[in-house]
Amino acid sequence: MVYLGVDIGSTTAKLVIRNDSEILYQKYERHFSQVRHKTLSLIKEAEPFLRDEKIKIAISGSAGMGVAESAGIDFVQEVYSTYALVKDKEPDTDVVIELGGEDAKIIFLQGGIDERMNGTCAGGTGAFIDQMATLLDVTPDELDELSLKCEKVYPIASRCGVFAKTDIQPMINQGVSKSDIAASIYKAVVNQTIAGLAQGRKIKGKVMFLGGPLYYNKGLRKSFTETLKLDEEHAVFPEYALYSVALGATIFASKQEKVYSFGKLVEAIENTISEKSTVASMAPLFADEEEQKEFFDRHAAETIAVKDPASYSGNAYLGIDCGSTTTKLVLINDQKEILWSFYDSNKGNPVDVVRNCLKEVRAIASDRIRICGSAVTGYGEELIKNAFRVDFGIVETMAHFMAAAHFEKDVDFILDIGGQDIKCIRIKNNAVDNIMLNEACSSGCGSFIETFAKSMGYTAPDFAKLGIKGNAPVDLGSRCTVFMNSSIKQAQKDGVSVENISAGISVSVVKNAIYKVIRANSPTELGEHIVVQGGTFLNDAVLRAFEKEIGHNVVRPAIAGIMGAYGAAIYAMKNGSEESGMLSADELDSFTHKSTSMQCKGCTNHCSLTVNTFSGGGKFISGNKCERMKTGGKAADTGMNLYEYKRRKLSELGFVTDEDYINRKRNSSGQEDGSPVSNKTDERKVIGIPLQLGLYDLAPLWHGIFTELGFEVRFSGFSNKNVYLDGQDSIPSDTICYPAKLMHGHIERLIAAGVDMIFAPCLTYNVNEHKGDNHYNCPVVAYYPEVIKDNMECLENVKYVSPFLDLRDEAELARELKKHLPESFTGFTKAQYKRAIAKGFENYRAFRDDIRREAARIIETARKDGRRIMVLAGRPYHVDPEINHGIDLLAESLGFAVITEESVAYLSEKISTAVLNQWTYHSRLYCAANYVTGQSDMELVQLVSFGCGIDAITTDEVRSILERKDEIYTQIRIDDINNLSAVNIRLRSLLGALEMREKTND
Amino acid sequence: MDENSRVEFTKEMKKEYKILIPTMLPRHLKMIASLLNVYGYDAELLENTGKEVIDTGLKYVHNDTCYPATLVVGQFISALNSGKYDVHKTALLFTQTGGGCRASNYISLLRKALKKAGYGYIPVISLNFIGLEKNSGFKLSIPMIRRMLYAVIYGDILMLLTNQVKSREIHQGDAERLADEWTVRLVDRLGNKKSLSYGAIKKTFRAIVRDFDKIPVTREKKVKVGIVGEIYVKFSPMANRFLENYLINEGAEPVMAGLLDFALYYVYGRMVEYDMYRIHKWSRFLFRIAYKVFASKQADIIKIIKEESSFDAPTPFAETVELAKQYINLGVKMGEGWLLVAEMAEHIKRGTNNIICTQPFGCLPNHIVGKGVMKIMKERNPGVNLIAIDYDASASEINQQNRIKLLLANAAQGGNQ
C-alpha cells in the first residue's frame, strides 16, 4: 500500500508518494495552467512507484479542488493538510507561516488553534515575488542573491501587489540599486504577512516556515527571522517545506477507504480532461474570418512614413519617453517622418538603455543629420533629462496629445494604456479639457498581461496572437489585477484554454479602462474621433476588445507604442533651436552613473533620498517630497500653504515628543515606569489623545475641555511610517483605510510615552454645521475607538476611555463625560463640567476661525501675486503628513497656494445634491466644490483615501458639481504608498490643461 | 427646477403604474409584493438574476460602491432594459433605512443610475418607516404595516425551518417543495382583501411548523454553520452565491437569524439613541410600541415552535441584546451594527461554533462589527471557527469556497480544541 498526496497550487503542482515508513518519491513542477494535464502527467511519471501498488490518494491545493471533484477523489483543504503534517512532525511548533504561489497562510497552534489565509485583496506572494523579479528583469534566484547584498531597505507598500509595484517602479526609474529594491520587496512580503495575516496575534515561539518562496529564497528567510527576531532554534525551515501540503495530504490519503490500482487512478484523472468547462465565457472577438480581415486591413493603413536615415541629411528632432516599464525613442525629420525609433523594456535600468540608444542616434546622425532639439517625457523624465542634458522635459499627457493630434486632426479623445498606467485625455476646442489617470488600484494593466504571459511560458506577442483565436473568452471581471489573478486561477481549475484566457484578459483590461477609469456609461460619451495608443494597444486582442466594447472603430496609429516619444519629438521641433545641448558621442562614451542613498534632514518627513550623479556633471536627487533639500535643507516656506499652517497650529496644542516616545520604548521591558512624560510642567495628570481620524478636527475642543478641568493634554503627534509599523500587528481588517490603520500606532505611541489615560470618544454624530441633511460621522470615524479597545492588547496597562458622546447638546455632553471618565479623573461639579465644555467649544471655534482667517489671507495674497489657488480637499485628517504623503508641499512647490476644504466650505450655502448629504465632512466637500465653481483662479483637487467607502459616493458628486460649471475635477487616491510620481504627473497635467485653456480663451 | 429633485410617485400613477421590487429574500418579498395589491397597487417581484444583472450594475454604479448597490441597481435597470415592462408606466420600490452607513445612499445612487441610463423619469419609491421622502401616491397605513410584519414573520419561519430540514431530509427536495407550497398559500392569503385575525395567523404558524415536522429526516448529526453579515449579502442568494445551498451540499446545516431580528434591532436602536443622545424624543413612544409588538410576535413563534416540534427556535430578542452588550457598545448602530455581533454570540451560545461572516467587499460597518470583533470573539470562546468572506462582482468563487472548506474541515474535527 502506498499513499499518494497531490498538491495543486496556483502555479505549481507537487506530488509525494510514501508508504508507512518512508517517502518513496516526490516531484515539484510548474503547471502553466494546464492543471489536469499536469496532474495526469505527474502521476504517469511516477508509474514505477505506483504500478504494482494499491494506492490511497488525497488531493489538496486551491487549483486541485476541481480535479478532485470531477475525478471523485477525496479533497483536503490545504491549510488543514499543513496543520495535520506539522502536528505529526513537529508538535511543539507555535506558529506556521506558509507562503504559496498566491496564497499566504498562517497557523497558530498553541493556545487556541487559529488558521488564517490572506483576504481577497492581499495579492499573491510567490507570484508577487515572480512579478517583481520580472519587473527588475532578473530571475527569482537572482533577485534572492541581489537581496543579500543590500545596503538600505526602502518602504514599499505591502498591502497589495499593485501598490508595491507602484512604489518600486519609480525606484527603478530613479536609479535605486537592484539589491536594495530586492531586499525591500522581501521586507514588504514580511510586513504583509505580519499586518495582513497575524492581525493582532503575536508571532512568537517556534516558527515554522513552509512553501516554495520560503524554501528557495534565502533573503526572504533572512528578512523574516530578522523582523520577527527569531534565533536559529526558533526559526524552522524544514527540508520538506516545498512538499508540506502534499505530504500532509498523504496523511489524509492513508485514512481514506477508497483504494485505486494505477490503471484505475489514471483512468479517473483522464476522464476529467475531457470534461467540459463551466466558466462564464463571452462572445469571441471576431464573429468570422471576414470580420477579422476587415479589422487587420483597416488598422494596417494607420501608418506613418519612415525614411531611411542613411539617405537623409538635414535637421532632426529627438523624442524620448522613459515610461514605467519601457523606454521609447523617436528621431524625426522636418516633415515629422520617422528616421529611427526604438521600443523596448527598460530592463530595470533606463539610464543604460537610453545611453545605448543615444550612442546609436549620434552614430546614425553622424555629420549629415543635425539634432536640433530633444525632449523627454514619462516617469523617468527628470532622471534622463539630468543625465543626458536633454533640452526639454514635457509632461506625458501633453506629449500624447501632440502625437495624437498629428494623426487625427479632430481627435476628441485619447486613450493610452501603457505598462503601468491608463491615461485618458479629453480634447475640447483643440485644448486638453480633462485628464483622467487610473487610480493606483487599477493600474498595472499592460504589464500585467506581459507578466502573466511569461508565467504561462509565452512571450507577450505570442500570447496576444493566441487571444485572437479564442472562441469563448473567459469572463474575468473588471477589478484590479489581483482579483484577475484569482479569477484566472478559477478558469485554470476548470481547464479553460490559453487562447480563451488571453482573450479574456484583453477584455478585462479594456473594461477596466472604460468602466473604472473613464467611468463611461455609453460609447458616445467618449467621443467621435478616438485615438488609442500605448504599448498595450499593440496587442490586437486588446484593440479588438476595445472596439467591440464601445461599439465603433478607433484609430490606432501604427506607432501606438511610441506615441509619447513621437509627441516629445514634435514638442522638441516646436521649441528647438540650432543645436541640441544633449551629450555628444564622446561624452556618451565616457558616461558614468552612480547612485547613493541618504536621508533628507529638511523636515520631519525624513525622506529617503537617492542621489544620482552623472559624469557629465548632471546630478539628480529623487525620493524627496518637496523641493526643500535643494534649497540647502531650509524650508522653502512660501507662507502660502494652509496645510502647513494648520499643522503648526495643531502642534501648538502639545504633542508627545519623539524623545519621550523613543526613550520609553527602549525602557519598556515590562516594568511599569511611573515617571511622567518629559518636559511635564507640574503634577497634573496627563490625558493622551490620539491625533487621528475625527480627533484631528476636534483636537482643540478636547484640549480646551480637559485643560479647563485641570489636566495636561498631550496629543500623539503627526504620523510617519514608523507610527504605522509600530501599530500594524494589531490591525484587524486589511482593507480598511490608512488613517484607521495609523490609529493603532498612535495608541502605541501614547502608551509608550506614559500618559495617565487615553481618551478616544466614539461619535455617531459630528458637529452640526447646517450644510447637509444630517451630520453623521462615517462608521469608521464614529466607531474606530471600539475596534482599538477590542484589538490592542497593550491597552491592558493603561486607562483607555472611549465613551459614546454627543456634541450637539452641551448639557448632555457634561452628563455623559461625568458618567464615563474613570473615578480618579472625575470629582468635578456640574458647573465645572459646564464651564469646561463651554471653554472647549470656545477653543474649537477660535481655532476654526483662525484657520478661516489665514485662508482668507492666503487667497488675498495669492491673488495679488497672480498665484493659482488649489483647494486640496479631503477630510480633516488628510492634513497629516503621512496620510497625504506631502502632496500639499508638492503642490506648493509647483506654484500653487494651497488651502483646505473646510476653510472655504463655510462661504457656500448648503447646496442641493443628487446623493444623500448626511456626513459633516462630506457636506464640507460639496460646499467647497460649490464655492470653487465661482472662483476663476481656484482649482479643487480631491484627496481620497483608499478603502474609503463613502468616497465612492462623494467623488462622483464632487465631480458633477464642478463639471456642471466647466471646472476641471482632479482626484488623487492615497494609501500607504509613498511615491509622488503619479501625483506629480497629475498635478502637472492639471497645470498644463489650465495653461492651454487660458491660451484658447485669450 | 433643481436638477436634483426627484420624481414623485403620484396618486394618478398609483392607478396605472406597475411597481417593481428587487429580490433580497425571495419568499419574504413575494409575499410583500402580493400584499401591496390588496391596497390597490400593482407590484411585482423581480426575478432576473445572473451575469446580466451584475454587468448592468457595474456599468451604472461606481465600482467601489458596495456590492448590494451594484446588484440592486443592476437588477432594476436590466429589468427595465428587458422590454418586459412599459417603462413609462413603471415605478421602482426600494427600502431606505437612513443612518450613517453609505447604504442609506442606495436610493440616490439608484436615481443617479436611472438618469444615466435614460430612465430619469421613472419614480423611485422609498420604503421606510421614519418619514424619509414622501410620495402622494404611496402611503403606509397601519394595517399595511401589520400585513408586512406578518409577511416578514412567515418568511422567517419558512427560512428557519427549510434550513433545518433541508440538510437532513431523506427525500431530496421535500423541504423546498413544502416551503414553495406554503409561499403560494400565504401569498394568496396576504394578497386577499379578507381581514386577518391574529388568531388565524397563529394557527397558520402552527400548521407550518407541523407540516415541516412531518418531513422524514435522518438522525445524522450535521455540522451547523452560522451565517451572519451584511443584511443583503447574508440573505440574497444572488449576492452570496447560494451559500445556504452550498453548505447543505457540503453536508452542513446553515443557521441564520431572520429579518424580524433586523426589524427589532432597528426599532430598539431608536430607543437606545434616546437614552444616549436624547433624540427622537417623540417618536420613541411609537418605537416602543413597535418593539413590544414585534417582540411579542417573536415570543409567540418561539412558543409555537417549541410546542409543536423539536426544531431550534429563534433567540428572544431581549437575550440577543444582552449578548451584544458583552462584546460591543449598543451605540454602534451603523449598518448591521451591534446586531451582527449579537448574532455571532447567539450562534456560539447555542453551540453553533462555526460562523461565516458574509460582507460586501469594503463594507465600512463590517470593519468594526465584523472583522473588528473577531479577535475577542475567538479569545473569549476558544474553539470557535470564525471566517469573514468578502463578496463582490469579481471575488473569485474558488477562493471563497476554499475558505469555507477550511472552516468545514475544522468543524468536522469538532472544533479546534
Q: Residue A667 pLDDT more than 60?
A: no
Touching check for A524 and chain B: CB below 8 Å? no
d(Cα A170, Cα A610) in Å, to the nearest integer? 11
Q: Of B97, B120, B136, which residue constitutes the final position of a domain? A: B136
In 10 A of CB A684, how many CB atoms? 16
User: Per-residue pLDDT tens for A591-602?
Assistant: 888 877 777 766
Q: Would the pLDDT of B190 be above 80?
A: yes
**Stretch B67-76: mean pLDDT:** 93
Q: How confident is the model at residue A159 (pLDDT cuts 50, 70, 90)?
A: low
The answer, yes or no, to whether residue A630 has pLDDT greater than 60, is no
Query: Span B2-10, mean pLDDT?
Result: 80
Is the pLDDT confidence value at A662 over 60? Answer: no
Q: For residue B218, what pLDDT is reported?
A: 92
pLDDT value for A676: 43
pLDDT winner (highest mean) among A405-409, A430-434, A481-485: A405-409
Q: Please state the rounded mean pLDDT for residues A219-242.
A: 90
**Per-residue model confidence (pLDDT) at position A673:** 44
Instruction: Tell me: do B132 and B226 sit in the same domain.
Output: no
pLDDT band at A441 (very low <50, low <70, confident <90, very high): very low
Kindly list the residues from chain B whose CB atom is less than 8 angstroms away from the CB atom of residue A481. none
Q: Is residue B191 part of a domain?
A: no
pLDDT at B417: 35
Q: Are A130 and A140 in contact (CB under 8 A)?
A: yes
Residue A672 has pLDDT above 50, yes or no: no
Residue A576 scores a pLDDT above 80: no
User: How many Å apart are CA B63 and CA A479, to the nearest integer?
Assistant: 8
The per-residue pLDDT of chain A, averaged, comes to 84
Read off the pLDDT of residues B401-416 as tens digits, 9 standing for 90 and up. Answer: 888 888 888 887 754 3
Cα–Cα distance measured from residue A164 to residue B142, given in angstroms and rounded to the nearest whole number: 57
**pLDDT for the residue A648:** 93
| Confidence (pLDDT) at A485 | 65
Q: Give the model's pLDDT for residue B410.
A: 82
pLDDT in tens, A299-311: 887 777 888 888 8
- Per-window interface: A 475-514 vs B, CB < 8 A: 475-479, 483-484, 486-487, 489-490, 493
Nearest to A387 by CA among A174, A661, A697, A137: A174
pLDDT of res. A671: 39
Partner-chain residue, chosen from B3, B101, B331, that has the shortest CB–CB distance to A762? B331
pLDDT, tens digit (0-9, with 9 covering 90-100), for A372-397: 999 999 878 888 998 899 999 888 88
Q: Enumerate the residues of chain B whose CB falls inside 8 A of the CB of residue A816.
A: 276
Q: What average pLDDT does this structure show over A448-455?
A: 77
Contacts of B126-130 with CB under 8 Å at 24 or more apart are B126/B94, B126/B95, B126/B96, B127/B93, B127/B94, B127/B95, B127/B96, B128/B95, B128/B96, B128/B97, B128/B98, B130/B98, B130/B283
Please state, in angstroms and rounded to a whole number, the distance separating the CA atoms of residues A990 and A984: 10
A631 falls in which pLDDT band (50, 70, 90)?
Answer: very low
What CA–CA distance (Å, rounded) separates A940 from A453? Answer: 41
pLDDT in tens, A21-44: 899 999 988 876 678 888 899 999
- Percent of chain B residues topping a pLDDT of 90: 59
Is the per-residue pLDDT at A868 higher than 70?
Answer: yes
Q: Domain residues of chain A, as ranges? A: 91-156+186-237, 309-408+566-589, 416-445+465-554, 593-631, 642-847, 850-1001
Q: Does position A123 have pLDDT exceeding 70, yes or no?
A: no
> How high is the mean pLDDT of chain B?
89
Residue A724 pLDDT greater than 60, yes or no: yes
Is B1 a member of any domain?
no
Q: Is B376 an interface residue toward A (CB < 8 Å)?
A: yes
ipTM value of the model? Answer: 0.91
Contact A949 B402 (CB under 8 A): no
User: Residue A629 pLDDT > 70, yes or no?
Assistant: no
Nearest by CB to residue B394, choosing from A479, A736, A804, is A479
* Phi, psi values for residue B120, rounded to 5°: -55, -20
Q: What is the pLDDT of residue A598?
A: 73
Please give, rounded to a whole number of angstroms, the shortest distance from the CA of B240 to a CA of chain A. Answer: 15
Q: From the CB of residue A721, how many other CB atoms can be counted at a distance below 10 Å?
A: 16
Domain membership of residue B417 (yes or no) is yes
Q: Given this structure, which CATH class describes domain A416-445+465-554?
A: alpha beta
3-state DSSP assignment of residue A58? strand
Give the model's pLDDT for residue A674. 43
Nearest CA in chain B to A109: B416
CATH superfamily of A91-156+186-237: ATPase, nucleotide binding domain (3.30.420.40)
Q: Residue B1: how many CA atoms within 13 Å on its side-chain side?
A: 5
Tens digit of each residue's pLDDT (9 = 90 or more) over A50-59: 988 899 999 9
Question: Is B364–A778 a contact, with Cβ atoms under 8 angstroms apart?
Answer: yes
- Cα end-to-end distance, chain B, whole Å: 66
Q: Does a structural domain hold residue B123?
A: yes
pLDDT in the model for residue A115: 75
The CATH architecture one would assign to domain A309-408+566-589 is: 2-Layer Sandwich (3.30)
| CA–CA distance, A110 with A206 (Å, rounded to integer) | 10
Contact status of A778 with chain B (Cβ, < 8 Å): yes
User: pLDDT per residue over A692-713, tens digit each?
Assistant: 998 999 999 999 999 999 999 9
Q: Kindly state whether residue B170 falls inside one of the protein's structural domains.
A: no
Residue B302 burial (10 A CB sphere; 0-12, 13-18, 19+): middle
Rounded CA-CA distance B320/B318 in Å is 5
pTM above 0.90, yes or no: no
pLDDT value of position B220: 85
Residues of chain A positioned with their CB less than 8 A from the CB of B360: none
> Residue B286 domain-assigned?
no
What is the pLDDT, as a whole number, of residue A588? 86
Flag whether B197 is in a domain: no
CB of B108 within 8 Å of any CB in chain A? yes
Please give the grid coordinates belonging to residue B5. 429633485
CB-CB under 8 Å, A918 with B51: no
Q: Is the Cβ–Cβ distance between A422 and A394 less than 8 Å?
A: no
Taking an 8 Å cut-off on Cβ atoms, the answer to whether B409 and A76 are in contact is yes
For residue A438, name the pLDDT band (cuts at 50, 70, 90).
low
pLDDT score at B346: 95
Q: Which residue has the higher pLDDT, A634 or A320?
A: A320
Looking at residue B380, which CATH number applies to its domain?
Answer: 3.40.50
- Pairwise CA distance, residues A902 & A872, whole Å: 10
Give whole-number Cα distances, A463 to A297, A469, A470, A500, A662, in Å: 21, 10, 11, 10, 54
Mean of pLDDT values over A734-763:
91
- In this complex, which of B372, B393, B401 lies closest to A65 when CB atoms are compared? B401
Identify the band that residue B21 occupies on the pLDDT scale cut at 50, 70 and 90: very high
| pLDDT(A442) > 50 | no
Q: Which residues span the domain enclosing B349?
A: 222-257+315-417
**Within this chain, do residues B228 and B376 fall inside the same structural domain, yes or no?**
yes
Average pLDDT over residues B145-165: 94
Residues whose CB falls within 8 Å of the CB of residue B339, separated by 6 or more in sequence, listed in order: B261, B262, B265, B320, B324
- Which of B94, B110, B136 delimits the end of a domain? B136
Q: In whole angstroms, what is the distance from residue A798 CA to residue A716 CA? A: 15
Residue-level pLDDT at A160: 60
Give the C-alpha separation, B371 to A741, whole Å: 13
Q: Beta B18-21 vs A938-945: how paired, if at all?
A: unpaired
Residue B345 lies in a domain: yes
The last residue of one of the domains, among B136, B167, B195, is B136
What is the total count of domains within chain B? 2
Q: What is the mean pLDDT of residues A264-287?
A: 79
Q: Which residues of B touch A121 (CB under 8 A)?
A: 361, 390
- Of A10-19, A401-410, A433-442, A691-700, the one with minimum mean pLDDT is A433-442
Q: Which residue carries 458574509 as its cell?
A: B358
The pLDDT score that the predictor gives to residue A120 is 54
Give the model's pLDDT for residue B285: 87
Q: Do domains A309-408+566-589 and A416-445+465-554 have the same CATH topology?
A: yes
Would you say domain A850-1001 falls under CATH 3.30.2140.20? no
Instruction: Give the pLDDT confidence score for residue B416 in this predicted structure.
Output: 38
At A617, the pLDDT band (50, 70, 90 cuts) reads confident
Subunit contact B100:A777, Cβ cutoff 8 A: yes
More confident residue, A720 or B278: A720
Residue B175 has pLDDT above 90, yes or no: yes
